[in-house]
Amino acid sequence: MKESIHKYFKVGIVSFMAYPSTIRGMDENLLSHLKKTVDDDYFDAIELTWVKDDERRAAAAELLKASHITVCYGAQPRLLTTGLNSCDVDEAGRAAAQATLMEAIDEAEQLGAKGIAFLAGKWAEDTKEQAYAQLLKTTDALCTYAAAKGMMVELEVFDYDIAKKSLIGPAPYAAQFAADIRKKHSNFGLLVDLSHIPMTYESSEFVVRTLRPYITHFHIGNTVCQDAAAEGYGDEHQRFGFPNGSNDVPQVLDFLRVLKAEGFFCKENPYVLSFEVKPWKNEDPDAVVAGAKRTLNRAWALLED
């Protein structure tokens, strides 16, 4: 493409993956990590998660406000690091998950985000229908609460049998769930992550076309999922170029082609398109982020006008 990608997307970074020390909400170096991103005008958006210290959160909010960057809030760590399950068939467990997600909406508002993203709990064939009903209950409550604040609720689509083993899940099932929620709530959408598509045994074209009416947000990243014996197997969001990875420039290019064909290049109101890449072992986070930029730049350069 001759035109800048920034005309059509808000290019972002999932900060709590790029700098995984922040994922539990207690990193004393959070502000310095955030500053690296907000000082880099390649990024139009930043995705962060909970910040448990009130003073640090307030300072982060001021930094983000001054930077004129789009802020997104990922509530996934509130569930993944605590074992809470948004579709827990035990009602007390589901209520606890809902409570922390309600807190996430309040915290996101303080940080300047216009919504939250979260994920469904575990896929289990024998309790799938019951879990689906529980997820509807959780999401309904979140959307009602968020709507009063003018905020969105997004559900990220994950794998269902490899790593997160999430109820949502295969694209047709995600579409069914989104349609059920949209019957009552216009402030709900789906977050599609390129790194999860190989793990659901689907293609970018199939996922995007199936979920098209409900998609509000995108992630791009890599995964190792073809060989269970390979280093880094699972949903680890390795850097582009990682050995045995499923995604690199060709797959990012294909994803962009699909997004273009399906009408997601929107200069009037660009979608957020964020890198979700994570350092493996002792890899340098900044080098991993730089590599992600190079991958997207190359794919964009190869994209036909």
Q: What is the pLDDT of residues 87-100, one digit of tens each?
A: 999 999 999 999 99
With cut-offs at 50, 70 and 90, classify the pLDDT of residue 60: very high
Spatial distance between the Cα atoms of 69 and 74, rounded to a whole number of angstroms: 16
pLDDT digit string (tens) for 37-53? 999 999 999 999 999 99
| Predicted pLDDT at 168 | 96
3-state helix, strand, coil in the chain (%, to 5): 45, 15, 40
pLDDT band at residue 178 under the 50/70/90 scheme = very high
Do 59 and 111 contact (CB within 8 A), yes or no?
no
pLDDT the model gives residue 275 = 97
User: What is the tens place of the pLDDT at every residue in 123-152?
Assistant: 888 999 999 999 999 999 999 999 999 999
Average pLDDT value for residue range 15-33? 96
Confidence of residue 102 (pLDDT cuts 50, 70, 90): very high
Instruction: Give this prediction's pTM.
Output: 0.96
Predicted pLDDT at 268 = 97
Q: Which residues contact 280 (CB under 8 A, 6 or more apart)?
A: 232, 236, 238, 239, 242
Check: CB of residue 63 under 8 Å from CB of residue 35.
yes
Which pLDDT score, from 0 to 100, does residue 150 have?
98
- For residue 145, what pLDDT is reported? 98
CA atoms of 135 and 167, how far apart (whole Å)? 9
Confidence of residue 23 (pLDDT cuts 50, 70, 90): very high
Residue 198: per-residue pLDDT: 96
The pLDDT of residue 262 is 98
State mean pLDDT over 61-78. Answer: 98
291's tokens: 């590599």
150-160 pLDDT per residue, tens: 999 999 999 99
Distances (CA, A) of 133 to 1, 87, 89, 153, 186: 44, 8, 9, 17, 19
CATH superfamily membership of 5-302 = Divalent-metal-dependent TIM barrel enzymes (3.20.20.150)
Q: Whats the size of the chain, residue-wise?
A: 305
Confidence label for 285 from pLDDT (cuts 50, 70 and 90):
very high
Res 52: pLDDT: 97
Average pLDDT, the chain: 97
Residue 109 confidence (pLDDT): 98
Phi, psi of 287 (to 5 degrees): -65, -40
